[in-house]
């Protein structure tokens, strides 16, 4: 297949690019500058520009672009950056693929379990409505921006990803150094659910979506067994053989992280019903396995 990826320089994008190329697929990367290589396509989401000629012949377009949610404090300016990097990008790509004489078979858009807001200890799947708060509102707008592709009859999928367990980047990438140094611990009371997924399974799930022609709309990319932050803390200590004596009290997190602390302390017990019903199998379904895979102490059997 010929597959275009926006956000190919990010944690998930790099891993997906590498996986596809390893298996002999042709990958083109969307770049925010003049294309310098045969496998690059220029785009500028802020100007709603995509070099559609570079998308010709693509079987699939994947959009994983977006500024990091936890990279900066949520000032009004950074909230705008978070919104624009997602909504403008999705809108530009959706309009671009809809305009092609021969459009791709699928537009796979990144999204997040933040769509559901704080769900407490209640298990939910893709049928749940959107929640409240900045991230939930952002995810709703993010997905709605792809409407031109849906209206053009292109199979459009929203990969609502949970916390990706990886040491190379993302939120979990910031946890590994702390826990390796013996400075890790629970956040708040530790009772909030974290819906996690191993990086290996994240990439495998994205490829499953591309290959499975029946999946459309929201698809939760989370492991089958969400666990509490307290359980995550214990697992990190167990797998990395480090003490987990420290805690980050809720008031301290609010001082350090500002508004984002509310989402760190929120509970999301999200289940991947669509993936499981479509026959997807997780290689690292448990939290110990996912952490072990990220740290290199566990390999796929």
The domain that contains 225 carries what CATH number? 3.40.50.720
**Number of structural domains the chain divides into:** 1
pLDDT at 209 over 60: yes
CA 58 to chain centre: 22
Would you place residue 39 in the very low, low, confident or very high pLDDT band (cuts 50, 70, 90)?
very high
pLDDT at 216: 97
Q: What is the CA radius of gyration of the chain?
A: 19
pLDDT at 224 over 90: yes
| For range 57-66, the mean pLDDT | 96
Over pLDDT 70: what percentage of the chain? 93
Domain hosting 63: range is: 2-295
Domain presence at residue 301: no
pLDDT digits over 83-105, tens only? Answer: 999 999 999 999 999 999 999 99
Domain presence at residue 117: yes
What value does the mean pLDDT of the chain take?
91
Domain presence at residue 102: yes
CA–CA distance, 272 with 219 (Å, rounded to integer): 7
| For range 192-202, the mean pLDDT | 95
pLDDT at 247 over 90: no
pLDDT at 301 over 60: no
Domain presence at residue 300: no
**CB crowding 123-149: b at 16 or more within 10 Å, else e:** ebbbebeebebbbbbbbbebbebbebb
In angstroms, how far is the first alpha carbon of the chain from the final one?
28
Domain presence at residue 83: yes
| Token representation of residue 126 | 């893709």
| For range 273-278, the mean pLDDT | 97
């Amino acid at each position: 297949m010929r597959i275009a990826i926006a956000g190919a320089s990010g944690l998930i994008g790099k891993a997906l690019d590498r996986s596809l190329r390893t298996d002999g697929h042709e990958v083109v990367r969307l770049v925010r500058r003049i294309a310098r290589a045969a496998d690059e396509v220029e785009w500028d989401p802020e100007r709603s520009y995509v070099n559609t000629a570079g998308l010709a012949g693509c079987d699939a377009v994947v959009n994983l672009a977006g500024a990091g949610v936890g990279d900066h404090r949520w000032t009004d300016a950074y909230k705008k950056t978070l919104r624009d990097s997602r909504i403008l990008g999705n809108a530009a790509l959706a309009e671009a693929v809809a305009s092609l004489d021969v459009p791709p078979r699928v537009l796979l858009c990144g999204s997040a379990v933040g769509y559901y807001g704080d769900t407490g200890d209640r298990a939910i799947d893709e049928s749940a409505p959107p929640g409240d708060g900045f991230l939930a509102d952002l995810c709703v707008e993010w997905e709605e921006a792809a409407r031109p592709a849906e209206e053009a009859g292109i199979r459009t999928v929203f990969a609502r990803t949970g916390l990706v367990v990886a040491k190379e980047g993302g939120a979990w990438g910031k946890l590994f150094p702390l826990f390796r140094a013996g400075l890790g611990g629970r956040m708040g009371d530790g009772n909030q659910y974290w819906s996690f997924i191993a990086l290996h399974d994240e990439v495998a799930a994205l490829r499953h979506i591309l290959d499975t022609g029946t999946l459309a709309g929201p698809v939760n990319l989370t492991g089958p067994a969400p666990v509490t932050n307290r359980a995550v803390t214990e697992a990190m200590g167990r797998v990395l053989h480090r003490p987990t004596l420290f805690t980050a009290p809720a008031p301290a997190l609010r001082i350090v992280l500002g508004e984002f602390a509310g989402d760190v302390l929120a509970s999301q017990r999200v289940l991947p019903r669509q993936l499981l019903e479509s026959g997807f199998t997780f290689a690292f379904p448990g939290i110990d396995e996912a952490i072990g895979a990220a740290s290199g102490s566990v390999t796929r059997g």
